[in-house]
Amino acid sequence: MTQAATGIAAERDPARGTVIAVVGPSGVGKDSLMDLARKHFSGRADIRFVRRMITRPKDSVGEDHDAVTAEAFEALTRSGAFAVSWKAHGLGYGIPADVHDDLAAGRVVIVNGSRSALDAFSAAFPRLLVVNITARPDVLAKRLTARGRETAADIEARLKRSSEPLPPQLDTVSIDNSGELEAAGKELVRLIESLLSKD
């Protein structure tokens, strides 16, 4: 289920900035790469790394996020508090609607996205670049096994989903994170810098 926000968000100024939606399968290193880029661009006013709102406890393993109950999430969705919201793996995810203010100001906005929500992202953000983080199947399988969170069947299903193509109409760039994290991190930083220089 995906849902673009309505109401308040729809009345905001048109976007001049660009949204970079970072997507990729679990275990591919999205959070680590985004953390490297966040540190590199620390203190800059023309870029924003967005904290997602998730129906997951604050102290759970994973990305730094704003925790919210399922009931509050539904109320926020109805009120137009999200630019984009979706559900996956039993959790609700929301991108706050105030990112439209950043886009109207011409900033580059970087969000941790989801392959399943890309249609909603495309509808919500006129200037969207999808950064698809990939890794070789053997590398991804090794990382998922090392985490110890999934069964062999779960890992096999994740690997199958990771090979599915993204919607062809989207502007997409792929970054291979099969090797050293720093190398892929530099590639992401260069990509973000190229967008900042255009805006």
108-149 pLDDT, tens digit per residue, is 999 999 998 999 999 999 999 999 999 998 898 888 888 777
User: Bigger pLDDT: 114 or 163?
Assistant: 114
Q: Taking Cα atoms as reference points, which of 72, 26, 30, 50 lies closest to residue 175?
A: 30
Over range 84-96, report the average pLDDT.
Answer: 92
Tell me, what amino acid is at 96?
A: P
Instruction: State yes or no: pLDDT of 158 exceeds 90.
Output: no
3-58 pLDDT, tens digit per residue, is 443 333 344 455 689 999 999 988 889 999 999 999 999 999 999 999 999 998 77
Q: Within the chain, how many helices (H) and strands (E) appear? A: 7, 10
* Per-domain residue ranges of the chain: 2-194
CATH superfamily of 2-194: P-loop containing nucleotide triphosphate hydrolases (3.40.50.300)
Label the pairing between strands 128-134 and 66-67. unpaired
Q: Which residues contact 56 (CB under 8 A, 6 or more apart)?
A: 62, 65, 67, 91
